[in-house]
A = this chain, B = another copy of it.
Amino acid sequence: MRLREIAKLIDAECIGDPDYPIEGLASVDYAGPDQICYAESAKLAGQVEQAGAGATVVGPDFPELAGRNLLRVEKPKLAFLRIMESFAEVPACDGVHPQAYVAETAQLGEQVSIGPNATVLGDSRIGNRSRIEGGAYIGKGVTIGEDCRIEANATLLDGVSLGDRCIIHAGAVIGGDGFGFEWLGDHHHKVPQLGSVAIEDDVEIGCNACVDRATLGETRVGAGSKLDNLVQVAHNDTLGRHVIMAGQSGLAGSVTLGNGVVIAGQAAVSDHVTLGDGVQVGGQAGVTQDSDPAEKLWGTPARPIRRVFKEQAATARLPELIRTVKAQEKELAKLRRRLDELSGQAENK
Contact = CB atoms under 8 A, between A and B. Distances in A.
A134 B157 CA distance: 11
Interface in A250-299: 250, 252, 265-266, 268, 270, 283-284, 286, 288, 299
Interface of A: 24-27, 30, 77-78, 81, 84-85, 87-88, 97, 99, 101, 115-119, 121, 133-135, 137, 139, 151-153, 155, 157, 167, 169-171, 173, 176-177, 179, 181-182, 184, 187-192, 194, 202, 204, 206-210, 212, 216-217, 224, 226, 228-230, 232, 234, 242, 244, 246-248, 250, 252, 265-266, 268, 270, 283-284, 286, 288, 299-301, 307, 310-312, 314-319, 321-322, 324-325, 328-329, 331-332, 335-336, 338-339, 342-343, 345-346
B268 A248 contact: yes
21 contacts: A25-B216, A27-B217, A116-B119, A117-B135, A153-B153, A169-B173, A169-B177, A176-B207, A179-B247, A181-B226, A207-B210, A207-B212, A247-B250, A247-B252, A266-B286, A311-B316, A314-B321, A315-B315, A315-B318, A317-B322, A339-B339
Given A182-B78, A188-B242, A229-B212, A171 B169 contact: no
A175 B134 CA distance: 15
Nearest to A103: B116
Contacts of A311: 315-316, 318-319
Nearest to A299: B300
A98 B339 CA distance: 98
A206 B171 CA distance: 14
Contact of A155 (B137, B171, B188): B171
Contact of A176 (B117, B169, B234): B169
Contacts of A250: 230, 247-248, 265-266
Contact of A342 (B101, B157, B246, B343): B343
Given A115-B119, A314-B319, A342 B331 contact: no
Q: Name the residue in A87, A99, A157, A188 with the highest tally of chain B Cβ atoms < 10 Å from its Cβ.
A: A188
Q: Which of A24, A115, A179, A310 has the most CB of B within 10 A?
A: A179
A140 to B, nearest CB: 9
Contacts of A87: 192, 194
Nearest to A271: B265
Contacts of A189: 81
Nearest to A77: B182
Nearest to A212: B229
Contact of A134 (B119, B246, B331, B343): B119
Given A210-B230, A250-B265, A252-B247, A336 B325 contact: no
Contacts of A121: 134
Nearest to A86: B192
